[in-house]
Homo-oligomer: A and B are copies of this chain.
Amino acid sequence: MGLIVQKFGGSSVADTDKLKKVSEKIINEKKSGNDIVVVVSAQGKTTDRLISEEREVTDNPSKREHDVLVSTGEQITIAKLAMMLHDFGYKAVSLTGWQIPIITNSEFGNSRIRYIHNETILDLLASDNIVIVAGFQGVDENYNITTFGRGGSDTTAVALATSLKAERCDIYTDVDGIFTVDPRIVKNAKKINNICYEEMLEMASLGAKVLHNRCVEIAQKYNVPIYVKSTFEKDSIGTKVSNQKPLEDLVINGVAKDDNISRITIVGLENKIGKTYELFKLLSDNNINIDIIVQAFGETSMKNITFTVKMTDLNRTLKILNKNKDKLNAKEILHAENLSKVSIVGVGIANKPGVAADMFEALYEKNINMHMITTSEIKISVLVNIEDANIAVNAIHEKFFK
């Protein structure tokens, strides 16, 4: 009998009834004789609520204190889940990141795991406990609380599976695996039974919010198989993510959508070495995540840079940019709101020049305007108006998976 790591996300633990369903999944696995380590996220919208409370206090939170604040969400879940398992008659003990401890570097809000002490967990397992771990958090060498950034509970789960040499890591979510497209948007979305780490990484980075990228990277590095399963369906088989490549490549593996994007263009940035760095350093220091970046040269002494940020970061970003407009020698700062990024991904794209044309045709047929296009070897992304996004995803999926 082996060791299984199970991870349950925020929607799987959102309320008491759902915690009960989660407990059943855990107990089933325990009954089959395995040792169980469970990783959980904060319940439902808890993290969002904490962040909106934080915004009430300050626009510019200390990164250390931010981690002290948001790490409480997972701590609440582990306590409740342990209590519930006791009620079902099982031994269970909760552990926060610092209690294990999971030692990280000191990059607050986006810290990296250095090592995990296995002893506490192994001792608890040896005395027949189910171990419930708070996802997304660790502690640095000076006893500061650190977090891994949004979705970091996946990272915790896979890192624990690696460190504890688990047989496998089961990531439970509210859908029954990984699909060619979000099944809530497209009716005839197709479930993928097997996907390799590389393709999964592309899908994840494009807004298919099933697995956190960093967890896939760790799983790939240490070759831990991940199973993505449904919390709420009985006998969910789900999707296996492993180093196994599909025998026959599909042209594209899936269609992904990322909502609430805004586009910012800096017109007339001085074309001088270091200016681009200065711009993105400024944004990164202010904890603003940039997604796509496109640069187009204008006049010889100036350039335009366009990039995207989340809608929630737009006002803050514009405020910072306008405050530093002179320092950056920027002429003008433009922006467009309420956009969605729609992408296709697949290793076949590079070798099939018709793919981009097919994608654009699908959008043209629905009369959908594209506000930005970026392409790489294995993906094509376009920005569309948010109200067109679902139509776009359906049209593209229909084109490639009919």
> Which residues of chain A (50-96) have a CB below 8 Å from chain B?
50, 53-54, 56-58, 60-62, 64-66, 68-69, 71-72, 75-76, 78-80, 82-84, 86-87, 93-94, 96
A62 touches B83 (CB 8 A): yes
Task: Verify if A19 is at the interface (C-beta below 8 Å from B).
Answer: yes
A75 touches B72 (CB 8 A): yes
List B contacts of A80 (CB < 8 A).
53-54, 57, 65, 69
Q: How far is the CA of A19 from the CA of B54 in the complex (A)?
A: 12
Q: How far is the CA of A204 from the CA of B50 in the complex (A)?
A: 34
What residue in chain B is nearest A53 (Cβ atoms)? B80
Task: Verify if A98 is at the interface (C-beta below 8 Å from B).
Answer: yes
A76 touches B69 (CB 8 A): yes
Number of copies: 2
| A interface SS class | helix
> Which residues of chain A (8-67) have a CB below 8 Å from chain B?
16, 19, 50, 53-54, 56-58, 60-62, 64-66
List B contacts of A16 (CB < 8 A).
56-57
Within 8 Å by CB of A94, from B68, B94, B99, lies B68
Size category of the A interface is 35 or more
Task: Verify if A280 is at the interface (C-beta below 8 Å from B).
Answer: no
> Which residues of chain A (306-331) have a CB below 8 Å from chain B?
none
Q: How far does the Cβ of A20 sit from chain B's closest Cβ, in whole Å?
A: 9
What residue in chain B is nearest A16 (Cβ atoms)? B56
A99 touches B58 (CB 8 A): no
Task: Verify if A364 is at the interface (C-beta below 8 Å from B).
Answer: no
A82 touches B62 (CB 8 A): yes
List B contacts of A68 (CB < 8 A).
75, 78-79, 82, 94, 96
Give 20 A-B pairs besides A65-B78, A69-B75, A99-B145 with Cβ atoms closer than 8 angstroms. A16-B56, A50-B76, A54-B83, A57-B83, A58-B84, A60-B86, A62-B83, A65-B79, A65-B80, A65-B82, A65-B83, A66-B83, A68-B78, A68-B82, A68-B96, A69-B76, A69-B79, A72-B75, A75-B75, A99-B143
